Structure formats: structure tokens, C-alpha cells
Amino acid sequence: MVLSTTTNKGGMMMQKQFTALLYGWLTVMTLILGASLLLALLLKFTTFNEPTLTWVTLVIGLIALFIGGLFAGAKGRMKGWLMGGFTGLGFTLFTFLVQYLGYATMFSLEQSMHHLFYLLAAMLGGMIGVNVSGSDTAH
């Protein structure tokens, strides 16, 4: 009987962590899509140039992954670095699949470095998110 409640508790924890990951991924995708729309409008209606666009998209990606990791960590309430890491890995995998299957190209060295920093930003966000959310032991 004790074994079944432990297994059920572990299953609930896994479900909670998966839900937290979904929150993180949805947050990242929403922020990225919103920023893409805003950047498209800026490119269309202003004199915003492409060299600036490269740096702006890098910063937007870092902020979006940080916030996504923050949400995942806050929702998961444990192992923030892991929650943020999986949030970053999910984004990197999604981006890689779109690029590889859609455009038949692999990541360049520059893109790999960007995604490494995205992963680190998401992990940092996850660590901060866990600490901002508080702990379950108080409840």
C-alpha cells in the first residue's frame, strides 16, 4: 500500500513538472511570436536595418528564454536549473527541426553558440523562478 502511494506521488510530481515545462514552452513561443510580429512591423514601416536586427533578435531570444525558464521554474517549484534547461532544450530542438526539415540546413557555429546562451538563460531563469515562487514545504 505504501508503495502505491509513493508511486502515485511520483506520478503527480512528474505531471506537475511536465505542466511547468508546457508553461515555459508556451511562454517562450508567445514571446518569440509577438516579438517577430513587432520586428516585422518595424522593418516594414521604419528605417530599421538588418545588421541591428541580428543583435536585437539575439537579445529578444535571450529575454524570452529567460522568462520562459522563470515561468517553468516558478510553476515546477523544484530543480529550477533542470526545468529551465529542458525549456531551453525544447526551444532548441523545435528550432533545429524547423531549420533542418524546412530548409535542409544544420546549425552553424554561430547559431550553436546562440542556442548555448539561450539554454544558459533559460536555466538561470528556472533557478530564479524556483526561488521566487517559494517552496511547497510551507503548505
pLDDT tens digits for range 27-70 = 999 999 999 999 999 889 988 887 888 899 999 999 999 999 99
Which cell numbers hold the place of 107? 546549425
Tell me if 56 is assigned to some domain.
yes
Mean predicted confidence (pLDDT) in 11-16: 81
The whole-number pLDDT of residue 135 equals: 56
- pLDDT of 13 above 80: no
Distance set, CA 111 to CA 24, 29, 42, 74, 83 (Å): 21, 18, 23, 28, 22
CB atoms inside a 10 Å sphere around CB 122: 33
Q: Which domain holds residue 15?
A: 11-132
Q: How many domains does the chain have?
A: 1
Query: C-alpha distances in angstroms, 84 versus 16, 65, 131?
Result: 14, 8, 13
Residue 129 is predicted with a pLDDT of 94
Domain assignment present for 80: yes
> Does any domain span residue 5?
no
In a domain, 1, yes or no: no
3-state percent helix, strand, coil for the chain, nearest multiple of 5: 90, 0, 10
Query: What is the end-to-end Cα distance of the chain in Å, rounded?
Result: 25
Give percent above pLDDT 90 in the chain.
69
CA distances from 80 to 12, 17, 105, 129 (A): 17, 10, 32, 7
* Residue 67 counted as domain residue: yes
* 128 domain-assigned: yes
In angstroms, what CA-CA distances link 53 with 42, 43, 45, 64, 79? Answer: 10, 9, 14, 16, 34
pTM, full prediction: 0.84
Burial of 4 (0-12, 13-18, 19+ CB in 10 A): exposed
